[in-house]
Each structure stands twice: as structure tokens, then as C-alpha cells.
Structure 1
């Protein structure tokens, strides 16, 4: 039997239970992974609430790392004992799990299992944003919210290596220091700051080429005003609440903004794309800067981990240690 965190029905963290389940043996094309860690992401919270529906009961978690302990028929790329990470496959809040073999990626020595488990989905999201949603080139100006958060800590150094200039928003001075350390060129501090005005001033009145907003309704209008004509606006989350109203008139023709609601789960659903994206994401993690994983929670404390992330009490990338 294996311990898992099971969601009984959509709703609050009280619907999460630490229970034992039989995992079974891997079928054709599968591996069984003995996990050492699983990441905690906002997508887990959206799935828990039913915003992204799952069949119940469900085991949440879409990224993790561990050691292969069994392989199914036809699996030749992995052997028992291999250390791997994965992203985009629901079922991570577990001591062990079955996983399609194509989802696995061997980890190099310079990428720890903890870093992979807590960061691979965010790294794949960064790849989607910087290479698919908006092709970043030298000189691209980017506005990203939650500059001390896990996604921004990966997006910013990756974008800097591509030649981008970055403005980040944060809520406190301490978080501003983290954002600057992760590659922001300038930081807007405070929930009541004039985000659009500061962004326009920073870009000589033009607005930024690319806005990445994971907050939702509280920052949507300011983000829109901060984006340049023919710029790109990516809404990647709703940590502060869902968008209340959006119409075509909000985006054009005067603004002429390209608006995206990109799904990293959809981005990673194609095995051929997945292979190249996960490799590029692992390379980006190994390229630095050195990241401190945290905060860390026991698997049995998954509800506390989700609450901490949901309430904005975390910086960096939360991890369930297994």
C-alpha cells in the first residue's frame, strides 16, 4: 500500500485526506516511480476547487521527481534506479505512482531531485511563455506580476539570457530584493502602485511588449493599460480572483493587444513537444541562478502547503517532501 493525498470532492482543503491506496504494477509503456518530492502549484488549487474539473476521487499534483522502481513492457529508455523528473501528469501527491514512460526525463547531476520536483512545471510554463506565447528577442520588454514567486523566479533569468528587459511587481521590499536577485531590471512595490503609469514611464510611453499576469482581476486593467499596442498579454492564473468581465473591445482595435489564456497542461500533452520542452526546461534550471527550494512540507501536510500558497504566504517553489 502507498500513501497518497486524495481529494474526495471539489472544495476546500478539508476535502483532502491522507490515505493508503494500492498503486499496482506498471502496464505497457508505464513506469512506477518511488517519489522523493512533489511540487505544489496553483493549478492544484484550481483543480481542488473544481475550476479545472477532475474525476473524483482524485490525487492532485502535476510535477514530481523520484527513482524508477519498476518498468512496464516496452519501456527501454529507463531502468530501475534511474533518477527522473516529470511535469504535466496529474497524480503527484503520492509516495509512489504509475507514470507514462514518455513523461519521464532523466535528471543530470547538477539538477537536484528537490529542484526538479518543485520547478519543472513552472519551467515548462516559462518555455511556453517565452517561446510560444510571445517569441522573446533581444530588447523585448516584459512586465511580470508576483516577481518573488516561483514562476517569475524561472521566467526572469531565462528571459534575461534571451536579452529581455524585465519589470516585476511585488508586495513588499523584501520580495523586491528577491525579484531583483532573480533578474528584474526594475521593481514596482505595493498593491496600490500605479502599475500602468510606471510601466509606461519605463518604456518611454510605449508600454511593454509582453505582460505576464498570474493575479487575475485585481491587476487585469492595469496590466492591459501597461501593454503596448500590438503587444501580448498572457493571463496565466487567477491567484487574486477570476476575471469578471472581458470583451473584444478591451483588446482592440485601439489597443490591438493579443490576449492569451495559455494552458501548460495542453502545451505538454503532445509527447513529441513534451520531449523537447522538458529537456529545455531542465537545461534552464541547471543554468541558474542557484535556487533555494522551499518552503517544504510533509506529504501529509499537503493541505497546509496549498493554504500557504493560496494565501500568498510563500516565496519560491513549495515542495512536498516524501
Structure 2
């Protein structure tokens, strides 16, 4: 019998219940995989609390994982038993074994570990659409990256620098500031001791940045708009501090004819070609060492509730993974 965490109702970490779940054989177009590692992400917290409701309850949360194909269903052509695979959607990763549509899987290159695969798929492909899809950061551009020591932030900083972009990073501690500098950020702002809006204006000579990549949400959103140059781009892709409050869209005009987007990875990788392009580009920058995937902490899968508590309390740095 397969073990998995199920959510029967929305709430705190205590609503995660470790239970027996029958998985069964894969149906047409499905693959059954045995997880070797599972990624932990803020979207898992949003699913648990109901901020982003799951399609139906009870449900198994968890967006990304890596493992080995155990069996394939009818009409599956790209995978076979024994293949190493990884994915970043749909939910269901907090389990020892699961079924998943073939179209959502990618082959995990042999030079990458299962731990790297589980730590990089959702965060790394998010970084890819941020830097190429939402605002195509180019050499000479200046971007502001919030939570630069987090799982997505670390990848965005490194990848942006690989593209020749100037990076201003924000972090919440001296330790994280040192890490952001090590990753290549040109300027690092500790928002616990400095006003990031004031510092951004100082760094840019009052001009503002070309784009803001903001996964923090409520605590940083409005001030981030004031960090942008005229016709700059605000990319709000997460709510780590809580959801952004409704606001008058006219503010985008008064603050400089700004562009605002609220993207999701699921949209950018909705097609098979889109998914494969994101994974290919991610694997390429990691394989040549331009982006290093940091696994900050590892928990047994059975300790997922504690991992959630630590993530929300900002006790984690980089990517966190759960081991079945």
C-alpha cells in the first residue's frame, strides 16, 4: 500500500494526514512513478490553506517531484519502466508512488540527481518564464529580485547574471545577504535594516529598475511599483507574505505607465512544446554550471508538516526537498 499526505480540509500544517492510498495501474496516457525526492514550495502552503483551492478534497498536495517510472499505460510512447523522470505539475507529489499524465513528465538527464530534479523543476522553470516570458531580461537591463536567497530567487539571480543583467537583490538577513552576493547579485539590500525603495533609487540614480520580480506579495508590492522606471514591468508571481490587496489600476498610469503581470507556470508550460522548452533551457544552464541548484534542507516526507512550518517561518534557504 502506498503512503501519502492527504488534505481533507483547508487549514494549518495539522490538516496534512499521513494515510494509506491505493494507487493502482496507470490508465491510457498515464505513468506510475516511484518518487525518489519531492520538492517543497510555497504553492503547497497555498493549497493547504485554501488560498489556491485544489480541484477537490481530499487531495494529495505537492507540485514537483523526481523518481523512476514503474509502469506505463496504453498509448504511452515517450517513457518506459526504469526511466528517470521529473515534473512540476499537477499536484500529488506528497506520496511514495503516484500516477501522472505522460504529457506532464520530462526525462531527467543522467548528470542530475533526483534531489536536484525535485529541487529545480518548479522553481527553475518559474525562473525561466520570469526571465524570458514576463520580461526578457537582457544585458544592460537592471532588475530587482525580491527574496533572492529563496529557492526561486537564487535561480533567478544566477540566470539573470548569466544573461548579462544587472541584479539588485533583497533579502531578510545578513547571512542571506552574503549568499546573494556570492550568487552574483550586483547590489544586495537587507530589507530588515534598509528601505529597499530608497536604496533602489540611490543605486539607479533615481531612474528606477526595468523590472521587478516579486514572489513576496503583500509586503513588497506597492513599494516595488515605485522602484520601476517609466514603462517598467512589475512581475508579481507569489504571495509569501500574503496576497496583494486590490488596488486602483489607475495607479499604474500615475506611477509611470507601468506594465503589470500575474503569471503562473501552468500557463507558460500548458503545451507539450512549452514544457519541453522550459525544461531544456533549465537543464542546459544547470548542466554547464551557470546556475547551481542549492538544496538547503532535507526532510523525510513523513515530516512534511514541520517542513511547512519552517518554510512559512523563513527558516529555509534555497530549495527544500522531502525524501519518501
Equivalent residue in structure 1 for 2:320, among 297, 302, 318: 318
- Cα pair 2:155 2:293 within 8 Å, conserved: no
8 A contact 1:38–1:65 mirrored in 2: yes
- In structure 1, the gaps of 5 or more residues are none
RMSD value, Cα: 1.3
Equivalent residue runs for 1:30-179 within 5 Å? 30-54=30-54, 55-179=56-180
Q: Partner residue of 1:263?
A: 264
Q: Deviations over 1:136-165 (max 9, x none)?
A: 111111101111111011111111111100
Report the Cα offset of residue 271 of structure 1: 2.2
Measured in 1, the distance between the counterparts of 2:126 and 2:39 equals: 14
Cα offset, 1:270, TM superposition: 2.2
Kept in 2: contact 1:68–1:80 (CA 8 A): yes
Match of 2:2 in 1: 2
Q: Match of 2:27?
A: 27
For 1:244, the equivalent position in structure 2 comes to 245
* Superposition TM-score, scaled by structure 1 size: 0.96
Q: Which has the larger displacement, 282-291 or 307-316?
A: 282-291
Question: In the alignment, does 2:275 pair up with 1:235?
Answer: no
| Structure 2 equivalent of residue 187 of structure 1 | 188
CA–CA separation in structure 2 for the residues paired with 1:26 and 1:279: 26
What is the deviation of 1:190? 3.2
Q: Which residue of 2 aligns with 1:17?
A: 17
Per-residue CA deviation, residues 243-296 of structure 1 (Å, 9 max, x unaligned), is 223211221144211011111122222222112112222223323343331311
CA distance in 1: counterparts of 2:115 and 2:276, whole angstroms: 21
Paired with 2:307 and 2:266, the residues of 1 have a C-alpha distance of 21
Does structure 1 retain, via aligned residues, the 8 Å contact 2:147–2:171? Answer: yes
Report the CA distance between 1:10 and its aligned residue.
Answer: 1.1
Report SS of the residue matched to 2:69.
strand
Instruction: Give, in whole Å, the separation in 2 of the partners of 1:298 and 1:60.
Output: 16
4+ residue segments displaced more than 3 Å: 289-292
| Inter-partner Cα distance in structure 2 for 1:3 and 1:315 | 28
From the superposition, tell whether residues 41 and 169 of structure 1 become closer, same or farther in structure 2 (CA, over 3 Å): same
Q: Retained in 2: the 8 A contact 1:211–1:232?
A: yes
Q: How does 1:210-221 map to 2 (within 5 A)?
A: 210-221=211-222
Instruction: Output the CA distance in 2 between the equivalents of 1:82 and 1:18.
Output: 28
1:176-204 deviation digits (Å, cap 9, x = unpaired): 11111222111001325221121112112
Matching residue of 2:210: 209
Matched residue count: 322
C-alpha deviation, 1:38, in angstroms? 0.7
